[in-house]
Chain A
Amino acid sequence: RKEVEQDPGPFNVPEGATVAFNCTYSNSASQSFFWYRQDCRKEPKLLMSVYSSGNEDGRFTAQLNRASQYISLLIRDSKLSDSATYLCVVNPSGGSYIPTFGRGTSLIVHP
């Protein structure tokens, strides 16, 4: 089993739709979780951290389910500009760390 798994997609949704991605991780000792966004031919950029209680940033909601070892990202009211690849990142322990990146989920938002 891969350490971090994501459905590569692509998820093809119309503007205004709500879309959710899941990411599963295999290391139960993982401590920190993040979602990154990567646009075509660009570097990954931090979208949001994922906190145990769940957190929201505008149209984006991230949740963590430790029991089932997955994190999720929900995007409401999708915009064309949301089209990108979303990378799940898992940090195995606190402090200095070597994170594990998922392969990414591609999202295409069409008019």
Chain B
Amino acid sequence: SAVISQKPSRDICQRGTSLTIQCQVDSQVTMMFWYRQQPGQSLTLIATANQGSEATYESGFVIDKFPISRPNLTFSTLTVSNMSPEDSSIYLCSVEDGVGKGETQYFGPGTRLLVL
């Protein structure tokens, strides 16, 4: 399975600031996703990061608030812009690995964000 790393692993930020989270995969993958998981809740898909084109956002998430980059097949960034305490959450990067395994997803370790 793909090995995924995320940076930073955690951060405490002031409201109104922005944070960029990086996701690095050790192999080229077609599909990369960004999720949010709030305490006690399930994972909510923010967007699909498309290589070479704009990300595809899910309902309730917009590019101005969560700009995403995908410059190549092994790397993506998610920015949480103009943060408020409601953005406090765990942000997870994931990749789809369908090679011989069906459409399973593998997750990075997550970025724990606290906005004061």
Q: Which chain B residues lie closer than 8 Å to A46 at the CB level?
A: 1, 104-106
Q: Which chain A residues lie closer than 8 Å to B112 at the CB level?
A: 41
Q: Are A96 and B104 in contact (CB-based, < 8 A)? A: no
| Contacting residue for B107 out of A43, A49, A98, A104, CB 8 A | A43
| Contacting residue for B43 out of A34, A95, A101, CB 8 A | A101
Q: B59 CB to closest chain A CB, in angstroms?
A: 12
- Cα distance A46–B101 in the bound complex, in angstroms: 11
Q: A94 CB to closest chain B CB, in angstroms?
A: 7
Q: Are A44 and B43 in contact (CB-based, < 8 A)? A: yes
Q: Are B102 and A49 in contact (CB-based, < 8 A)? A: yes
Asked if A45 CB lies within 8 Å of chain B CBs, one says: yes
B20-51 interface bits toward A, Cβ cutoff 8 Å, 1 = contact, 0 = none: 00000000001100000000011101001000
Q: Which residue of A lies closest to B33 (CB)?
A: A98
Report B60-116 residues with CB < 8 Å from chain A CB: 92, 96, 98, 101-110, 112
Asked if A71 CB lies within 8 Å of chain B CBs, one says: no
- Cα distance A49–B92 in the bound complex, in angstroms: 21
Question: How extensive is the interface on chain B, given as a class?
Answer: 20 to 34
- Given the known inter-chain contacts A96-B31, A98-B48, A103-B42, please indicate yes or no for A43 contacting B103, CB distance below 8 A: no
Name the prevailing secondary structure of the A interface residues.
loop
Q: A88 CB to closest chain B CB, in angstroms?
A: 9
Q: A62 CB to closest chain B CB, in angstroms?
A: 13
Q: Are A94 and B104 in contact (CB-based, < 8 A)? A: no
Q: Which chain B residues lie closer than 8 Å to A34 at the CB level?
A: 104
Q: B69 CB to closest chain A CB, in angstroms?
A: 20
Q: B80 CB to closest chain A CB, in angstroms?
A: 18
- Cα distance A99–B96 in the bound complex, in angstroms: 10
Report A65-111 residues with CB < 8 Å from chain B CB: 87, 89, 91, 94-99, 101-104
Chain B CB count within 10 A is highest, among A43, A46, A91, A96, for A43
- Cα distance A15–B110 in the bound complex, in angstroms: 30
Q: Which residue of A lies closest to B110 (CB)?
A: A43
Residue positions of B touching A, CB distance < 8 A: 1, 30-31, 41-43, 45, 48, 58, 92, 96, 98, 101-110, 112
